[in-house]
């Protein structure tokens, strides 16, 4: 057990790709400053901690816990509740914890359809006995149990209240550092999940350096299909950039690297559904005088729903397939 007076830090990885865990190391040499004042008391990806270790901590023992990933199964929900209880500050860390992220794109399919593909139909599956995961399996040595998969991915906030939200896929290192410093300094707003660390009250478009020429979109194209004119808004050139429907704060990182915004900071403030916000923005940007022409243009985007809700399906009005 770490000594008194030192900051206690936890990191947990639920339904996510693992990039958020790696992103913590992007604070670089500041990690040495961190280790001078802090101890890691739970980080399954980096060290051999057990849930039972956490259960033995007093309530509120962990000063700051970075929880990344959505909630896809019973184990993740159980750990989210445990970490809420044991953490003074629980951070919804990254797009998946904040809005469902990439894993929540699966919410466009039913659990049955996902299992059918994953355990039977995918080209890399060999499953001659047609086995599927079961919650309980009786063996000669006793009953084995594995977590139950939910019918949809939930946000962390659907299960427990977080104190901070740090958006991004993955979050930027400076945002991580801001949260750690805020907690070290005792500046923790109580259960203010809506406070997205490092975000502005505007959209990515507002911080994008590319020029808007106020021309209508005449076609949609994928990045490999054209070479965008430098300095000119990618959306006006036909790349389905999510900048108008995405919360600002990243400094238009992707645009500065020549890529469209994919929407990882989630919807802007006052917008509850990122996908419909994007559809609304396109409504006045398309070069389409008729509904048929508008449908033709939108049809040029290979996966409109997956594009407009790439990171925010779990926080959308739809939430999941019905």
**38 belongs to the binding site for ligand SF4 (CB under 6 A):** no
Question: Given candidates 262, 273, 309, 313, which one binds ligand SF4 under the rule CB under 6 A?
Answer: 262
Residue placing its CB nearer to ligand SF4 in the complex, 86 or 260: 260
Convert the chain into a string of H (helix), E (strand) and C (coil): CCCCCCEEEEEEECECCCHHHHHHHHHCCHHHHHHHHEEEEECCCCCCCCHHHHHHCCCCCEEEEEEECEEEEHHHHHHHHHHHHHEEEEEEECHHHHHCCHHHHHHHCCHHHHHHHHHHHCCCCCCCCCCCCCCEEEECCEEEECCCEEEEEECHHHCCCCCEEECCCCCCHHHHHHHHHHHHCCCCCCCCCCCECCCCCCEHHHHCCCECCCCCECCCCCHHHCCCCCCECCCCCCCCCCHHHCECCCCCHHHHCCCCCCCCCCCCCCCCCHHHHHHHHHHCCECCCCHHHHHHHHCCCCCHHHHHCCCCHHHCCCCCCC
Using Cβ positions, the residue closest to ligand SF4 within the complex turns out to be 243
Member of 92, 154, 199, 204 binding ligand SF4 (CB under 6 A)? 204
Size of the site for ligand SF4 (CB under 6 A): 22
Residue 241 touching ligand SF4 (CB under 6 A): yes
Contact status: 14 vs ligand SF4 (CB under 6 A): no
Binding residue for ligand SF4 (CB under 6 A) from 71, 98, 153, 205?
A: 205
66 contacts ligand SF4 (rule: CB under 6 A)? no
Of 204 and 297, nearer to ligand SF4 (C-beta) is 204
Range in contact with ligand SF4 (rule: CB under 6 A) among 103-111, 157-165, 247-255, 301-309: 247-255
Q: Binder to ligand SF4 among 15, 233, 278, 320 (CB under 6 A)?
A: 233
- Residue whose CB is less far from ligand SF4, 136 or 270: 270
The residue from 45, 184, 253, 279 that contacts ligand SF4 (CB under 6 A) is: 253
For ligand SF4, the closer of residues 43 and 265 by Cβ is 265
Site map 209..228 versus ligand SF4, x via CB under 6 A: -x-x----------------
312 interacts with ligand SF4 by CB under 6 A: no
Do β-strands 62-68 and 142-145 pair in parallel, antiparallel, or remain unpaired?
unpaired
Q: If binding is defined by CB under 6 A, does position 265 make contact with ligand SF4?
A: yes
């Amino acid at each position: 057990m770490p000594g008194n007076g030192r900051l206690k830090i936890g990191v947990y990885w639920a339904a996510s790709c693992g990039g958020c865990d790696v992103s913590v190391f992007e604070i670089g040499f500041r990690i040495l400053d961190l280790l001078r004042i802090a101890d890691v008391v739970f980080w399954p990806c980096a060290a051999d901690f057990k849930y039972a270790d956490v259960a033995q901590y007093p309530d509120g023992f962990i000063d700051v816990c970075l929880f990344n990933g959505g909630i896809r199964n019973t184990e993740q929900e159980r750990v989210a509740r445990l970490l809420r209880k044991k953490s003074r500050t629980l951070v919804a860390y990254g797009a998946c914890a904040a809005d469902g992220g990439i894993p929540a794109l699966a919410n466009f399919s039913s659990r049955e359809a996902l299992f059918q593909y994953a355990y039977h139909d995918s080209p890399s599956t060999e499953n001659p006995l047609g086995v599927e995961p079961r919650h309980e399996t009786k063996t000669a040595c006793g009953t084995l149990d594995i977590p139950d998969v939910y019918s949809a991915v939930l946000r962390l906030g659907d299960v427990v209240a977080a104190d901070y939200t740090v958006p991004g896929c993955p979050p930027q290192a400076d945002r991580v550092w801001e949260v750690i410093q805020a907690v070290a300094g005792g500046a923790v707003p109580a259960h203010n999940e809506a406070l997205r660390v490092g975000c502005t009250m505007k959209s990515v478009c507002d911080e994008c350096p590319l020029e808007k020429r106020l021309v209508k979109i005449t076609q949609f194209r994928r990045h490999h299909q054209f070479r965008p004119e430098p300095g000119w808004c990618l959306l006006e050139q036909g790349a389905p950039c999510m900048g108008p429907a995405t919360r600002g704060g990243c400094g238009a990182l992707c645009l500065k690297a020549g890529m469209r915004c994919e929407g990882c900071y989630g919807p802007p403030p006052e917008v509850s559904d990122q996908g419909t916000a994007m559809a609304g923005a396109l409504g006045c940007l398309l070069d389409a005088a008729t509904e048929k022409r508008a449908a033709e243009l939108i049809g040029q985007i290979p996966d409109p729903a997956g594009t407009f809700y790439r990171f925010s399906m779990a926080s959308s009005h739809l939430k999941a397939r019905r």
